[in-house]
Amino acid sequence: MSGSQQIRVYNIDIDELKLAEEARIKAQEKLEENAIMLEEYASQMEQLAEQRAEQLKNAERMAAIGQTAGMVGHDIRNPLQAITSDMYLITEEIKVMGDGESKRAIFESIDSITENLTYINKIVSDLQDYTRPLKPSIQEINLFELIEGTLLTINIPNRIEVTTDVKPKAKTLKTDVAYLRRILTNLMTNAVQAMPNEGKLTINVLKKKYKTVITVQDTGVGIPEHVKTKMFTPLFTTKSKGQGLGLAVVKRLVESLKGTVVFESQENKGTKFTLEFSASDS
């Protein structure tokens, strides 16, 4: 074999080796890509399994809530109303007593009992509002009167300043009066609880194009960033007392009225909830 032939064969061997090495590298890269894809897929499957398990757990919890709501509607609300009536009669009887330490002590006890009755009644209402079928009864209402009347039902300490501003063009709204009263009660109650020392509760109503906008704002402790995404989740609460249904009820009732609810909050500065509903034609 001549020298030129030997060189040509050698070059062919080198080319084959290069092609083989490139093929090996490509195969290795493909295997690595597939391994990453399999790992990602396995992770997604694990997340889906966890989500499904959580959904099943939540479904069981919601079923339990429904059963509990049916129970409390009969076994708790009836005696609760009887106790409330008795407390009213007792209060009226004590008013005729002469002033003194005993009378003041009795009134303090009555206030404490009444506060607990209100709290228990709210739990019952939240349970029932979250589980019952919703069928709004739409009528035109006066928002100023509804807001003022709702404020009267909430125990607001003197240390909290309350301001209400209902613009004339937004005074009326076609909605379900009972549902909106429950929505405002829950939001106002939360606002008051967020201001344990002092603060300002502001309720504004205005008309924005074809929407009626209601805001409930406080200057309280605010909502931590890490829990904001869970605020409307049933049974989630950051309070030592509470069932975690108040805001879930708000969202459900608002949506049943074809409205929206959002919030913005800063820790140690306060929180503002904004409700939007289709405005009245008037």
Exposure of 271 by Cβ count < 10 A (0-12 exposed, 13-18 middle, 19+ buried)? buried
How many Å apart are CA 114 and CA 117, to the nearest integer? 5
> In the predicted model, is pLDDT for residue 282 greater than 50?
no
How many Å apart are CA 195 and CA 210, to the nearest integer? 33
pLDDT in tens, 188-231: 999 998 998 899 999 999 999 889 999 999 999 998 888 888 88
Torsion of CA 80, 135, 228, 49, to 10 degrees: 100
* Single-letter residue type at 248: A
DSSP three-state, residue 176: coil
Confidence of residue 99 (pLDDT cuts 50, 70, 90): confident
> In the predicted model, is pLDDT for residue 139 greater than 60?
yes
The one-character DSSP state at 154 is S
DSSP β-bridge partners for residue 142: 172
pLDDT in tens, 154-189: 889 899 999 999 999 999 999 999 999 999 999 999
Q: Give the DSSP per-residue string, 189-252.
A: HHHHHT-SS-EEEEEEEEEETTEEEEEEEE-SS---GGGGGGTTSTT---SSS--S-HHHHHHH
Stated as kind and residue range, the H or E segment containing 175 is strand 172-175
For 41, the token pair is 């897929």
Torsion of CA 103, 104, 108, 114, to 10 degrees: 50
The mean per-residue pLDDT over the stretch 58-70 comes to 61
Q: Is the pTM of this model over 0.75?
A: no
For the chain, the straight-line distance linking the first and the last C-alpha, in angstroms and rounded, comes to 106
DSSP three-state, residue 34: helix
2 or 173, higher pLDDT = 173
How many Å apart are CA 62 and CA 235, to the nearest integer? 9
Residues listed for the chain: 282
How many Å apart are CA 125 and CA 97, to the nearest integer? 35
How many Å apart are CA 134 and CA 257, to the nearest integer? 10
